[in-house]
Structure 1
Amino acid sequence: MRVELPESFEKRMKEMLGDEYEAYIESYDNPRQYGLRINPMKITEEELAEGSGFSLEPIPWTKTGYFYKEENQPARHPYYSAGLYYLQEPSAMTPAAKFPVKPGERVLDLCAAPGGKATALGAALQGKGVLVANDISNSRAKALLKNLEVFGISNAFVTNEVPQNLADRFEGFFDKVLIDAPCSGEGMFRKDPAVIKTWDEERPEYFAKLQKDILKNGVRMLRPGGKLLYSTCTFAPVENEGSISWILNECPEMELLPIEGYEEFSEGNPAWGDGREELRRCVRIWPHKMKGEGHFLALMKKSEDAPETRIKLEAPTRMDKKNKTVMEEFFKDCQWKPDWERVQIKGEKVYLVPELPAKLNGIHFLRNGLYMGDLKKNRFEPSQQLAMTLKASDYAGSVSLSPEDERIGRYLRGETLLLEPGEATREKGWILVCVDQYAFGWGKLVNGVLKNKYWSGWRLKG
């Protein structure tokens, strides 16, 4: 049975699509497409296909994305808990895939929750530089933080702020800014018919106003020569070509760039904006032309001649000699070593922090960098988050279970495990618990009993 669309929405879509309208409407009868994006910091496509048994088909417009069959149920596989992939709608992978982020850059994801694009940007940075991932909603920012930590992103500053507050502290700071803007969600009608019930004809104008504020603050935070990628999951011209036309008029230092093409991408329509021909450089994704939902993208660059803002950076830290000795005792068994100049201790908690501006007072944040663990009575206890950045070969004590081992489910529920002699690489002490060499937490081994250290906030129910 065909979905019932709002009358005013149908009227506008008929005007926009003309002869293609029937093909668009027929696309609602097509099955939903399921996608996952692998974590290249942890696994390759070949390793994932071999270890999981999933039937994977490459998504042609992104190097790390794959279609999977619904019956594969990847959210139930232990690899999901190990952060080896992120489940994401195929079209939604496009913005991060077409944004040329390089290791060492300063990157902002301004509307980042729940983390699909942020985890992709963080993986592209490879632990170098900094990713500021922000969401205005505190509950959504908490979900964002978990997804980044599961993925093993160690250089993220996760904030919960309005864009203007960030712009006041990060003006001219970032090499790249991604704005996956809040929108009327018309491109998701097929995937999630519940979105239709929230739509009315005033929503595009409402969101366009929000988008202009977000865009202007995003431009403020770009350095000269920096790039900004704007995306939405709506078809509404006022939110797409309209918002881009507005920011180009408001900020003449911004230039619209072409986006690396794919044969089924459609170009932007100048008539849906202010008429400038450059709007053809925008990309529209239509569900009747591609195996995905509706999306819009625009890539812009700030002029090299734009005024430069110099921001004083936070100075490197100097660890207390006693604490550093305790930390080094633990890390002598670990191939991964922290940059000691970036290690901060607050109370008992130890963090590896990225390079940020010195004055961030008043910014509400959930996490600054990698929470490494706790210092307690002259010993160091590693964190769940540290485990997610490692693999079995990185630590002297580990146990690797097969995906079919029933103890994995018990471990993820927080239960104590029994190990056979020789099953772990050492007989006592901290053990990195893995599935097929991919870590998902710690345990403490004594006399064949593995005390569960999987973080309580992530434990499975039942």
Structure 2
Amino acid sequence: MSEQNITELLHPAFLARMKEMLGEEYDSFIKSYEVPRTYGLRVNTAKISCEEFEKLVPFPVTPIPWIPNGYFYPEDVRPSYCPFYQAGLYYLQEPSAMTPASCLPVTPGENVLDLCAAPGGKTTELGARLNGEGLLVANDISASRTRALLRNVELFGFTNAFVANETPARLRDRFPEFFHKILLDAPCSGEGMFRKEEALARDWTPEKSQELAAIQRELILQAADMLRPGGQLLYSTCTFAPDEDEGVVSWLLENRPDMELIELPSYEGFTPGVPEWGNGDPRLTRCVHLFPHTMQGEGHFMALFRKEGRADLIGTMSSTKPNADTRKWLELFLKEIGLKTLGGKPFDWNRVETRKDKVYYLPPLTGDFRGLTFLRNGLYLGDLKKNRFEPSEPFALALHKDDAEAVISLPVSDECLTRYLKGETLNIEPEEAAHTKGWHLLCADGYPIGFGKLVGATLKNKYPAGWRV
């Protein structure tokens, strides 16, 4: 933004409040609006290591100092056009927005909730940390945004996700003290995103923070009620407003005395919370603000809580049995592609469930999901057709490098990959395919992108129309 644009777009009440909050730092804060925004991506470490990613990535990247698997990339690069993006190897995300999920210490095998999850940026990091173990519940109250959330969960290849479209109140009633870790990235006034999204600056009003803070106070109490003893809750916003930040943290500390505010990791540029911006509780210094004049990113706020007590890693194991037809045709397909593992783990037939003619692979741990509105429970494997099984695109993306034998792997720069992602039929040289016919995984440098069926030298494209580039 230019100086003139700042005057035009930023509300005088917002500027006055920020000047009061920041004091001597105010001028540096205002000048940050003249600096171009930063662009970032976060590597899906469940599929590829950062070391391998750095070797393969076909465009320039620079590590983000405070995100172990985060990278800056230049503004003129379009990473979403790269086949590695369609393989779910990374997620495009503003660097500050990566920080909350990075600071929540998720351990494989836990029950984890992302309460306001769409479009899925933070969900995808939590799921990558679980690495297929435990249960990931990703919820959003908006039906349209939940569809975008599901797409990103499927793109990252998770086999243990429950994607819900529910009110937080209904989830609280169903899952009291159920989750080991909860992320609440609350709906907020978005002041930290003004440089990135000018519409937020135009729509801002002095009353907006108070209205949203009332919603946030309700949400954080509901989240705390779903956290099991010993569990951790990370509350975050992308705003600077004290009512929505320290004010909400103060509210939780006053109303849930079993919730303890704990220290977050410290990095250069992180700014401690200010007790006077809340109820004066000195513990509020354990919160963290990310300001655009101190970090290479936009604005964010975080607070990490721990509930008193002990969290035992106990969950209900999924236990189902596929019907005879499902087992017969799915086994034939798995044999055809030479499946060795699914997401690097043994295929578990106790997790296979058939609903009508659709086949699903349930999470290893489960909860009481009856009566809840949801888009997906586990991984959608594919469909039972007449005398055959036809795999889904999410199944392809759940497969990791070396999970299957029937692969056609092309360099990421090969134009055939782009043509495949557009839905075109490909001509395949005999030496490029594992077998002379049948189902194959098309891969970019070994990383699966989707299925195709080889007939002679022709690979029939099975990439879904709704996913095409």
TM-score, structure 2 as length reference: 0.94
* Counterpart amino acid of residue 234 in structure 2: L
Out of 183, 189, 192, the residue aligned to residue 197 of structure 2 is: 192
After TM superposition, list the pairs within 5 Å mapping 1:233-312 onto structure 2: 233-304=238-309
Tell me how far 1:314 sits from its aligned partner.
7.1
Cα pair 1:338 1:352 within 8 Å, conserved: no
Cα pair 1:49 1:55 within 8 Å, conserved: no
Q: Is 1:134–2:143 an aligned residue pair?
A: no
Cα pair 2:381 2:392 within 8 Å, conserved: yes
Out of 39, 52, 57, the residue aligned to residue 52 of structure 1 is: 57
Cα-to-partner distance string for 1:155-188 (whole Å, 9 max, x where unaligned):
1100111100111111111000000000000001
Alpha carbons of 1:312 and 1:99: their partners in 2 closer, same or farther (altered >3 Å)? closer
After TM superposition, list the pairs within 5 Å mapping 1:307-326 onto structure 2: 313=316, 316-326=319-329
Out of 86, 95, 108, the residue aligned to residue 91 of structure 2 is: 86
* Counterpart amino acid of residue 433 in structure 1: L
- Percent of aligned pairs sharing the same letter: 54
The aligned residue for residue 424 of structure 2 is 415
The aligned residue for residue 454 of structure 1 is 463
After TM superposition, list the pairs within 5 Å mapping 1:97-136 onto structure 2: 97-136=102-141
Q: For residues 315 and 382 of structure 1, what CA distance do their matches in structure 2 show?
A: 22
**Secondary structure of 1:239 counterpart:** coil
Runs of 4 or more, structure 1, over 6 Å off, are: none
Q: Which moved more, 1:446-455 or 1:51-60?
A: 51-60
Q: For residues 358 and 134 of structure 1, what CA distance do their matches in structure 2 show?
A: 14
After TM superposition, list the pairs within 5 Å mapping 1:378-417 onto structure 2: 378-417=387-426
The aligned residue for residue 351 of structure 2 is 342
Out of 418, 428, 448, the residue aligned to residue 437 of structure 2 is: 428
The aligned residue for residue 71 of structure 2 is 66
Cα-to-partner distance string for 1:319-344 (whole Å, 9 max, x where unaligned):
23443233223223101142111111
Cα pair 1:392 1:399 within 8 Å, conserved: no
Cα-to-partner distance string for 1:54-113 (whole Å, 9 max, x where unaligned):
222111111100111112221121111111111110011110111100101000000111
Q: For residues 359 and 410 of structure 1, what CA distance do their matches in structure 2 show?
A: 43
Q: For residues 468 and 153 of structure 2, what CA distance do their matches in structure 1 show?
A: 17
Q: Provide the aligned length of Structure 1 versus Structure 2.
A: 458
Cα pair 1:52 1:77 within 8 Å, conserved: no
Q: Please, what is the CA RMSD of the aligned residues?
A: 1.8
Cα-to-partner distance string for 1:93-152 (whole Å, 9 max, x where unaligned):
110111100101000000111111000000000000011001111111100110111111
Cα pair 1:244 1:298 within 8 Å, conserved: yes
**Secondary structure of 1:274 counterpart:** coil
Out of 211, 215, 227, the residue aligned to residue 206 of structure 1 is: 211
Cα pair 1:443 1:454 within 8 Å, conserved: yes
Q: For residues 360 and 93 of structure 1, what CA distance do their matches in structure 2 show?
A: 29
The aligned residue for residue 20 of structure 1 is 25
Q: Give ranges in structure 1 of 5+ residues lacking alignment.
A: none
Cα pair 1:82 1:439 within 8 Å, conserved: yes
The aligned residue for residue 76 of structure 1 is 81
TM-score, structure 1 as length reference: 0.95
Q: Is 1:151–2:151 an aligned residue pair?
A: no
* Counterpart amino acid of residue 253 in structure 1: D
Tell me how far 1:235 sits from its aligned partner.
0.3
